[in-house]
Amino acid sequence: MAESTIKLTIKFGGRSIPLSVSPDATTKDLKSLLQPITNVLPRGQKLIFKGKVLVETSTLKQSLVGDGAKIMLMASQGLHQGEGPVLKEASTRPISRTVVAQNKPGLVVDKNRADRWKATGVIALAQANLKEIPEEVWECGSAARVLDVSENFIREVPARISSFTSIHKLFLQGNGLSDESIQWEGIASLKRLMLLSISHNNLTVLPSEVGSLTSLRQLDVANNKLTSLPNEIGLLTQLEIFKANNNRITSLPESIGDCSFLMEVDLSANMLSELPETVTKLRKLKTLELNNTGLTNLPSVLFKMCLQLSTLGLHNTEITVESLRQLEGWSEFDERRRTKHQKQIDFRVVGSGQFDEGADKSW
């Protein structure tokens, strides 16, 4: 086998994907092989070797692609099937170590599913009807950068998740997880974790261990049954986006003001009656959603201190526009709000994409 194949490295999106193929395989064959690995359709792939685009009908030998060659894969916009390296149907069936594409004996890849996860760093297992995290996932260890097991039936997140020492993003939402389901000491050791999504579960407590995740930039705990937040949340000084809407939270810890990088906060549909004055320390805050809460007023210097705030959601609260106009800094806030609103309208008129009517929904 070693004499009839050559080893290639495919460079794609910052990843290095090792393959073994026959030198008689065509570029078209190679694209077909790369589709289930990269989720990029063949017609959306452009393979570049030494600055030249490989011709589909030419063999690798004819294109002077030899053993150890490095090929760059560029994906056309709109023809990428998703971030994960494995198609959805592949996540529920075993993949043999040797895969022959379209029954062509000359095109061989000696990578199984776990090997591909190690090569790309992305473990995509959303909506795979899982009841537990598969054993082969744990084999990835420090190679894992992203783990997505969202919208499954996962019953336990064990402490051994601490073996993912290089993980940046962890998606656990939509599993029905309870407080007892998560071994937080394992998650707390993930010092490089930048995104944690545990929304749409059955959590009643966000433990103090969350304060150990000092690299977090996004935390989503929405749609749980939380009644409070730990004081240790103030240790998340790099946090930029915090979503805790649709819970039962009655108050915020004053330490929230220490999250000085917060730009977007959603606390809608909670049982809040007031905000701590420390919220005014969030100088980078741009969006604050407080819809469907029991708030009757805001900190008096919110507009004066939070000079980047431009979206404020207060639907179904007792706070009126008239009362807001009495707060210092109202005029400047209102100008920012109107400017953002106008930009969104302009964006919709030119048809550049989906319009976000967040400003319209405020008040």
The last residue of one of the domains, among 94, 109, 124, is 109
pTM score above 0.85:
no
Q: Kindly report the CATH number assigned to the domain that includes residue 281.
A: 3.80.10.10
Average pLDDT over residues 211-228: 97
Q: Give the other-Cβ count within 10 Å of 62's Cβ.
A: 14
23 with 59: CB under 8 angstroms? yes
Same domain, 62 and 151: no
For the cut 60, the answer to whether the pLDDT of residue 260 exceeds it is yes
Residues 222 and 278 in one domain: yes
Q: Choose the final residue of a domain: 51, 86, 109.
A: 109
> What's the CA angle centered on 153, arms 229 and 99, to 5 degrees?
125
pLDDT confidence of residue 116: 86
Instruction: Give 272's pLDDT tier (boundaries 50, 70, 90).
Output: very high
> Is there a single domain that holds both residue 57 and residue 121?
no
Looking at the structure, tell me whether residues 97 and 138 fall in a common domain: no
Q: Answer yes or no: do 94 and 140 share one domain.
A: no
Do residues 196 and 51 share a domain?
no
Both 277 and 251 in one domain: the answer is: yes
Three-state SS annotation for the chain: CCCCCEEEEEEECCEEEEEEECCCCEHHHHHHHHHHHHCECHHHEEEEECCEECCCCCECCCCCCCCCEEEEEEECCCCECCCCCCCHHHHHCCCCCCEEHHHCCCCEECCCHHHHHHHHCEEECCCCCCCCCCHHHHCCHHHCCEEECCCCCCCCECHHHHHCCCCCEEECCCCCCCHHHECHHHHHCCCCCCEEECCCCCCCCCCHHHHHCCCCCEEECCCCCCCCCCHHHHHCCCCCEEECCCCCCCCCCHHHHHCCCCCEEECCCCCCCCCCHHHHHCCCCCEEECCCCCCCCCCCCHHHHCCCCCEEECCCCCCCHHHHCCCCCHHHHHHHHHHHHHHHHHHHHCCCCCCCCHHHHCC
The whole-angstrom separation of Cα 200 and Cα 179 is 13
Give the whole-angstrom CA distance, residue 172 versus residue 198: 5
Q: Are residues 172 and 102 in the same domain?
A: no
Q: What pLDDT digit, counting tens, does each position of 86-110 carry? A: 333 333 333 333 344 444 444 443 3
Average of pLDDT values for 141-167? 95
Q: What is the number of domains present in the chain?
A: 2
The predicted pLDDT at position 88 comes to: 31
Please indicate, yes or no, whether residues 92 and 127 belong to a single structural domain of this protein: no
Above 60 in pLDDT, residue 79?
A: no
Q: Which residue range is the domain that position 79 belongs to?
A: 6-109
